[in-house]
């Protein structure tokens, strides 16, 4: 009996991605229903005289199912992850269309049998203020929009529904031939704030002195917007950074290089000057195949420690998932058996992100729209109320042709 084929509401890859591999014809199939006769469960109980005789002959074996009820393996945690609000609306003293709350977990990531996910993790799309090497698989999705940060940010919000934008001020790096000044950087931030109304992350270049000089201008220029200032590190003037962030009403992103003790120390020092509701931590994201194992375990341990009551590890976690593209397998043309890099690359970013999602990351900074969309869908699936699953239907895979 043919059933009505539902369109796949779970995942629609951007057409550009599919184009890369399958040609444009695929898109025309979008509205065609697939006949699912073939997917029907073909199981018919067979006749099995030999077996039946055997079963009847055995003794001392159970003849019906023994009862063994299952009790949910629930644990209690003395700690809870802090809730942090990003972006401020007009009534909150800023100009964002809405603000976003992350954190608040009472259990490890998506242990929804213990406690529901209070605030689903959020994805912020990367925007750079000057030219950086971007994989072709990503560029294809943005066309000319990458020319300047304002059009890039707008495109990310309008076309890909970005909930947040991360503006990387890479142009300020003193190692550049002509680094932009703190005032110029602040102007870029203001322009992007004007262009889009989602909450913003503002990232520096990694040089502790220059970043602080830029943050000084940026925090003042965007007073009250509750920007996430990325990043504050142990080698920065922590007191000065924290006081700026507090004075102008922003949030600090505390970055440590894959070391729980450093993460603790940095949080501890920031907590001297900032309320806990204004700190998010980043314990470093390494790419799948290039240290993701370390990144995953550090984050999982941080989260478990926070839940077990360690007050220095109770901040929500952020991940620079875009680092996935540092893996050569994500962007290189390889032997044909490893398939199209237009798919391999975004899947590399997706798998990096999903692995860290399961470690407890609350905020993702990402690049490829297909990876973003997959994470977004998965987060929805993991946080929705459990209920009507079709247990008969999933057994179909055993006998179905596809």
Partner 1 sequence: MSGKESKGGIKQLSPIDVYMLLPKTNCKECGEDNCMAFATKVVNREDSIDQCPPLLTKANQKNYSKLKEMLKPAVKEVAVGVGDSVVNVGGKLVMYRHEFTYTNPTAIAIDITDELSDDEVLARVKKTQEFTYLYIGNDLKLQMVAIRSTSNDAEKFKAAVKKVAENTNLPIILCSFDATIIEAGLMAIPKARPLLYAATKDNWKEMAELAMMYNCPLAVSVPNDISLLRSLVKTLSAYGIEDLVLDPGTFTGVGLGDTINNFTMIRRAACSMGDELLGYPLIGTPIVAWTEPANSPTVNAWKEAYVASMLVTRYADILIMHGTEGWALLPLTVLRQNIYTDPRKPVAVEAGLRTLGTPDENSPVLMTSNFALTYYTVEQDIESAGKSAYLLVVDSEGTAIDSGVAGRKLTAETVADAIKESKLEEKVKHRKLIIPGKAARISGEIEELSNWEVLVGPRDSSGIPKFLQDKWK
Distance in Å, CB of 374 to partner 1, minimum? 6
Does residue 302 contact residue 258 with C-beta atoms inside 8 Å?
Answer: no
401 binds partner 1 (CB under 8 A): yes
Distance in Å, CB of 352 to partner 1, minimum? 8
77 binds partner 1 (CB under 8 A): no
301 binds partner 1 (CB under 8 A): yes
From residue 369, alpha-carbon distances to 14, 15, 161, 220, 357 in Å are: 7, 11, 10, 32, 17
Among 361, 317, 314, smallest CA distance to 79 is for 314
Among 165, 127, 181, smallest CA distance to 149 is for 127
358 binds partner 1 (CB under 8 A): yes
144 binds partner 1 (CB under 8 A): no
Among 88, 200, 238, 288, binds partner 1 (CB under 8 A): 288
Among 24, 78, 91, 391, binds partner 1 (CB under 8 A): 391
* Cis amide bond preceding 399, omega within 30: no
131 binds partner 1 (CB under 8 A): no
292 binds partner 1 (CB under 8 A): yes
383 binds partner 1 (CB under 8 A): yes
Interactions with partner 1, residue window 192-221 (CB under 8 A): 205-208
Among 136, 102, 178, 75, smallest CA distance to 332 is for 136
Distance in Å, CB of 258 to partner 1, minimum? 6
Distance in Å, CB of 138 to partner 1, minimum? 16
HSE at residue 184, side-chain half, CA atoms within 13 A, is 12
Distance in Å, CB of 127 to partner 1, minimum? 18
- DSSP string for residues in 253-315: EEE-SS-HHHHHHHHHHHHTTS-GGGEEEE-----TTTTHHHHHHHHHHHHHHHHTT-GGG-S
Interactions with partner 1, residue window 29-68 (CB under 8 A): 29-30, 33-34, 36, 39, 42-48, 50-52, 54-55, 58, 61-68
């Amino acid at each position: 009996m043919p059933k009505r084929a539902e369109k796949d509401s779970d995942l629609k890859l951007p057409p550009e991605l599919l184009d890369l591999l399958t040609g444009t014809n695929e898109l025309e199939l979008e509205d065609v229903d697939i006949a699912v006769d073939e997917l029907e469960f073909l199981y018919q109980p067979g006749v099995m005289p030999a077996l039946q005789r055997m079963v009847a002959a055995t003794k001392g074996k159970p003849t019906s199912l023994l009862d063994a009820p299952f009790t949910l393996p629930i644990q209690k945690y003395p700690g809870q992850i802090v809730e942090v609000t990003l972006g401020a609306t007009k009534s909150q003293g800023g100009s964002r269309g809405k603000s976003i709350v992350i954190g608040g977990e009472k259990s490890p990531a998506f242990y929804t049998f213990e406690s529901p996910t209070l605030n689903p993790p959020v994805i912020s799309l990367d925007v750079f203020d000057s030219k950086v090497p971007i994989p072709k698989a990503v560029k294809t999705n943005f066309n000319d929009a990458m020319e300047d940060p304002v059009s890039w940010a707008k495109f990310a919000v309008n076309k890909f529904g970005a909930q947040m934008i991360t503006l990387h001020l890479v142009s300020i790096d003193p190692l550049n031939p002509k680094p932009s000044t703190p005032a110029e950087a602040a102007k870029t931030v203001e322009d992007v704030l004007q262009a889009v109304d989602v909450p913003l992350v503002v990232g520096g270049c990694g040089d502790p002195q220059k970043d602080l000089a830029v943050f000084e201008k940026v925090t003042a220029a965007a007073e009250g917007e509750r920007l996430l200032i990325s990043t504050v590190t142990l080698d920065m003037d922590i007191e000065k950074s924290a006081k700026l962030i507090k004075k102008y009403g922003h949030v600090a992103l505390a970055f440590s290089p894959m070391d729980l003790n450093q993460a603790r120390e940095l949080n501890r020092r920031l907590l001297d000057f900032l309320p806990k509701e204004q700190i998010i931590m980043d314990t470093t994201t390494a790419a799948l195949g290039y240290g993701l194992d370390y990144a995953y375990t550090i984050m999982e341990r941080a989260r478990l420690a926070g839940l077990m009551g360690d007050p220095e590890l109770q901040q929500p976690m952020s991940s620079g998932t875009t680092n996935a593209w540092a893996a050569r397998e994500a962007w290189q043309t390889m032997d044909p058996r490893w398939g199209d890099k237009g798919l391999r690359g975004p899947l590399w970013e997706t798998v990096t992100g999903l692995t860290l999602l399961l470690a407890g990351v609350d905020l993702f900074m990402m690049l490829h729209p297909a990876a973003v969309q997959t994470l977004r869908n998965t987060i929805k699936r993991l946080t929705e109320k459990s209920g009507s699953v079709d247990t008969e239907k999933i057994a179909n895979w055993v006998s179905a042709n596809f």
